[in-house]
Amino acid sequence: QTEMTIVAPGNCSSEEISSSSLIEAYADYQRRCVRTRSKPSITSLAELRRIAASQGCYVSDILDEERRRQQFDTGIHLGDDDNGEDSESCEGGTARGQPHAQAMTVILGEASSLMQPLAAWRDALAPTSEGDNELCLQIQRLCQESVETLDNEAQTLATTVGSWFVADQSGLANLEQSTEDDTHTRSDLLSIESSLEEMAFMCQVVARYCEFSKQMVPSNGP
């Protein structure tokens, strides 16, 4: 494969940049973009895990307690017909819902939004003359390597969040331990139900991303 060299204005040899270096730098820029865009949701989840660790409990325990508190507060407001607007705002209160699913949705969504225009540019490029062919090939390579980098980074981040999800569920952990406490078992079942709902949503998000990535990152195999 022919290696192109880009020379900055002034034709100074110290400013010559190979196409491979440029492509590598741009792909790394895209990787940093998806990490930066995903950071707030991942940081929020990491902070929630830190709080759970400091309290000696699971993340799901904190979320279950928030749900119970929110349901109690909502019930109080629903009993007052004059506070309809307040009950609506209470329903959208401070409960964090499904933080693992939210983080995974942000990661894969941001990666998709960065991959789509690059893939479209890659597929739309066509040389208008024989002299343009090499330049088009290099731009297509830049787009392709950037898309692959984004896909790999998205999978890495999503895998991390997925491993956190499994470790953060008290119901799943307690299910592996035998217990004769009926009250504790009922509590575990409620926690497991919430965990399964979040897991089902994450599976849908991952499935949609997999279908998308198959189109954006064509296989080089047979």
Q: For residue range 127-146, what is the model confidence (pLDDT) as tens digits?
A: 666 667 888 889 999 999 99
Identify the pLDDT of residue 134: 84
Q: What is the mean pLDDT of residues 170-183?
A: 60
Identify the pLDDT of residue 93: 38
What does the alpha-carbon distance between residue 65 and residue 105 come to, in Å, rounded to a whole number? 24
Mean pLDDT is lowest, of 21-35, 108-122, 178-192, 195-209, for 178-192
Identify the pLDDT of residue 4: 52
Q: In the predicted model, is pLDDT for residue 191 greater than 80?
A: no
Average pLDDT over the chain, rounded to an integer: 80
Residue 17 identity: I
Mean pLDDT is lowest, of 25-29, 94-98, 118-122, 211-215, for 94-98
Q: What is the mean pLDDT of residues 62-72?
A: 82
Mean pLDDT is lowest, of 9-13, 50-54, 88-92, 105-109, for 88-92
What does the alpha-carbon distance between residue 182 and residue 188 come to, in Å, rounded to a whole number? 10
List, in order, residues 6 or more apart from 208 with CB less than 8 Å away.
none
CA neighbor of 153 nearest in space, from 29, 46, 48: 29
Whether the Cβ atoms of residue 66 and residue 48 lie closer than 8 Å to each other: no
Whether the Cβ atoms of residue 5 and residue 82 lie closer than 8 Å to each other: no
Whether the Cβ atoms of residue 27 and residue 20 lie closer than 8 Å to each other: no
DSSP 8-class letter at 130: G
Pick the most confident of 70-79, 110-119, 212-221.
110-119
Q: Establish how many alpha carbons lie within 13 A of residue 132's alpha carbon, considering only the half-sphere containing its beta carbon.
A: 7
- Predicted confidence band at 40 (pLDDT cuts at 50, 70, 90)? very high
Identify the pLDDT of residue 218: 74
Q: Higher confidence at residue 160 or residue 9?
A: 160
Whether the Cβ atoms of residue 48 and residue 102 lie closer than 8 Å to each other: no
pTM of the model: 0.77
Q: In the predicted model, is pLDDT for residue 165 greater than 90?
A: yes
Alpha helices by DSSP H, listed for 3-98, are 19-55, 59-78, 84-91
Q: In the predicted model, is pLDDT for residue 43 greater than 50?
A: yes
Q: In the predicted model, is pLDDT for residue 79 greater than 70?
A: no
